[in-house]
Structure 1
């Protein structure tokens, strides 16, 4: 029964339309139900025929009802379609299985995330001061006022590239000119550029297995043929690489992700020989080279490359902030010339202001001071994590990949499976991550292994969280 309000500001025909529409959507007027005729409805509601006709016409226009010649109007199958959409398993899966939505909606007391950073370590005061200095410096000699309002080089701000070339030689032995350094907005854009540079030349790429899922996602997105090469105790399996038809190898020789394996010099030389003999390229992913807590810094593979076969990748995400979206790659001379030709009409994707601030940050000696501070802080977290795991689990837990970086692989020698460990941790308000996501070949992944980052948590939170996990997993 329709209820109309003559005192309402809504026209009567619209009140009729809205109520019938609501009945159809709720299923109160099922598919095929005939509506009262215009004459019958007009008499029942004591309204003019035109008012009823206007309401029906709007419902028909929007597809809620259909006119039957000589028989009035009947309800279309709206409710059935609506119910089918709501109960469709594909749609339900996409809504309930969306990882991002779960991350946003579910609150955890502690999160062992690897990808995000601890904001308290960012040099906010200094960064703000340098930004202000640059924005207010209108001296012609500095060139800031011109640079700020100009489109720059596709490879990035040249003074920053000079700073990087100098720093990389001192810290990692990387030998290059400033021109060979290209500023990028993250690892994935770097890979996209490399794929374009090698288009038609290197159609198959060898990836470490396990390896960084963010890199693998780019190759898969661009339908690049890849070969998963198992990682052994000294790095990727060289025999598999040599026997493959790959022309590019994407590796992390100084701190393999996620196992933490350091590739020995002998294997580095063998891989370089493979690249020279096959006219192939090596993408050296040096994602966290600054964060090493024991021993001397390990020279990069690029430092021993005398034939221009290594593309060196680095980032500021781990020691500054991933939100800056700033990384870099060092191209061999041949590929840098190709870069200039292909990307001559492009602009750098990293904002000039952030590049200028980082340039001054490095030029003033603040970068290396910041590195020393960060390494000390991260080492304390690393030591707390490792010591607490050893105290709580002893020989029942094996720690892979420690003494560097911001993550470890935690493998249990007995007990629950990976799925059970993740589930029980979540019930206790703690987010831990399955290691199997990092393996292409799931059969090679340990059955009860977790991938855990500790960079976001304080030292006291690391201890508290691990104690909660100990109780949850017993």
Structure 2
């Protein structure tokens, strides 16, 4: 027999008594404190010793038996099973360190470009649309929907894209899906293995990752002052170009009309396609949003990608792809067997949200909020750094780039920022090769104006 050091917390409402007892024995067995073959106390004795019910002890023992930690021998009792050695302590320590690190990270001001202002999201309106959707379509919501996405939502998206972005398409050309990476995977299947993808350099690393994992041929095309260099594109073997013309990621530049026309002509001459990722296209801080590349296309060469992740909230995972008519037909022939990746309930809720005008009101509100945050950020940088930094890509989107003129490397800048409680992000991950002049990415959508200003003051302390 062994000494039981467990203390049962009968006031713990979050963890049942049997769970506390089960976890105690499980941990002691894993740690080797209770050896294989050891007889456990009888249920009655243990219940009396701990002052708990007999059923509580029985439930804990049954769980240990179900998981193989103990064995029951007829009329003898419960014995610890002979297990392979387990070394959980290091893993537990690692988990504890990760949790400690995570808690520390959460206390930082994090200039993450992927975050949005969730406090401004119309929670009550969204919840009302969700409840109405369940009330009106309860039985339908339990069944699989259209593989391309719900027709009503595709119709609303088609109307919105034409009015706001100049995209010309019908609902039958739209595919709903869970984000850009999923669409890149579908396009890889749809366009065929022989296609060579020309990617912006620097450019969105997650697209590069998908294509790399799938074994696609890639060509990294440098940027000039107007975006992807068409001259370099022509010199490459690429016949599919992936571009972010409305807000180049990560540099933030906006592709002028002259370069857009050059790209369209390249696609016709090459018998290729252009994938237009309208990244942050809704948020332009000076002037009106630039019309889409797809709206200029008269030859069916542009595939348009968009998402609600920045304009609504990232967690709903709703994106859309607009295919040229010929590719839309091929999609129905080749890929219609792919199940829809976005919840039907979310799709119908978003459809109602758009149909009732909430989407347009929310978008206008967010444009105002982000324009103000952009101004606060730029004013703080000017006040703290003056000419010691160069700001890039400040006219649109929810992030900027900073070139810091203090001689530090990218990693040194990030480490110095972390030392004062600020998390900034590298841009080297978006490049195919190293650069001499480090640039830091500053995202501000998910921060308050106070946090934006405080973070910049702390960066001044760290960097100057």
**TM-score normalised by structure 1 residue count:** 0.78
Preserved contact between residue 108 and residue 426 of structure 1 (Cα < 8 Å): no
For 1:420 and 1:6, the matched residues in 2 are separated by 53
Number of residue pairs aligned between Structure 1 and Structure 2? 400
Separation in 2, partners of 1:372, 1:467: 30
Q: Does 1:362 align with 2:361?
A: no
Q: Retained in 1: the 8 A contact 2:166–2:291?
A: yes
- Pair 1:145–1:7, CA change in 2 (3 A): closer
Report deviation, 1:256.
0.5
CA distance in 1, matches of 2:441, 2:215: 27
Residue 440 of structure 2 corresponds to residue 464 of structure 1: no
Distance 1:21 1:321, change over 3 A: closer
Q: State whether structure 2 residue 443 is matched by structure 1 residue 450.
A: no
* Residue 265 (structure 1) aligns with: 257
2:49 corresponds to: none
CA contact (8 A) 1:282 1:311 kept: yes
Deviations 1:191-248 (A, max 9, x none): 111111112341x111101111122121122121211111111101211110111111
- Of structures 1 and 2, the larger Rg is shown by 1
| Residue 227 of structure 1 pairs with residue 226 of structure 2 | no
Deviations 1:320-356 (A, max 9, x none): 0110000101001111111111222333111111111
Matched residues in 2 for 1:246 and 1:363: separation?
A: 40
4+ aligned runs moved over 6 Å, structure 1: 18-24, 61-64, 98-101
Aligned residue in 2 for 1:200: 193
Mapped to 2, the partners of 1:235 and 1:432 lie a distance apart of: 25
Distance 1:401 1:105 in 2: 30
* Cα-Cα RMSD: 3.2
Gaps (5+ residues) in structure 1?
A: 9-17, 25-57, 65-77, 138-143
Q: Residues 285-327 of structure 1: CA distance to partner in whole angstroms, max 9, x if unpaired?
A: 0021111111122111101111111000000000101100001
Is contact 2:388–2:404 with CA below 8 Å preserved after alignment? Answer: yes
Distance 1:22 1:99 in 2: 26
Alpha-carbon spacing, 1:21–1:179, altered in 2? closer, same or farther (3 Å): closer
Superposition deviation, residue 409 in structure 1: 0.4
Report the CA distance shift for 1:189/1:100 in structure 2 as closer, same or farther (over 3 A): farther
Matched residue of 1:258: which SS?
coil
Aligned with 2:175 (options 179, 182, 196) = 182
Deviation string 1:246-293 (CA, Å, 9 cap, x unpaired) is 111100111101111111111111111111111111000002111111
- Counterpart CA distance in 2 for 1:192 and 1:250 is 13
Query: In structure 2, what is the equivalent of residue 191 of structure 1?
Result: 184
Kindly indicate whether the alpha-carbon contact (under 8 Å) linking 1:108 and 1:430 is maintained by their aligned counterparts in 2. Answer: no
The answer for the alignment partner of 1:113 in structure 2 is: 112
CA–CA distance in structure 1, aligned partners of residues 183 and 4 of structure 2 = 65
Q: 1:295 aligns with which of 283, 287, 290?
A: 287
> SS of the residue aligned with 1:242?
helix
Counterparts of 1:260 and 1:7, CA distance in 2? 63
Equivalent position SS for 1:262: coil
TM-score, normalized by length of structure 2?
A: 0.79
Q: Deviations over 1:447-471 (max 9, x none)?
A: 3x20110011100111111111111
Residue 164 (structure 2) aligned to one of 151, 163, 171: 171
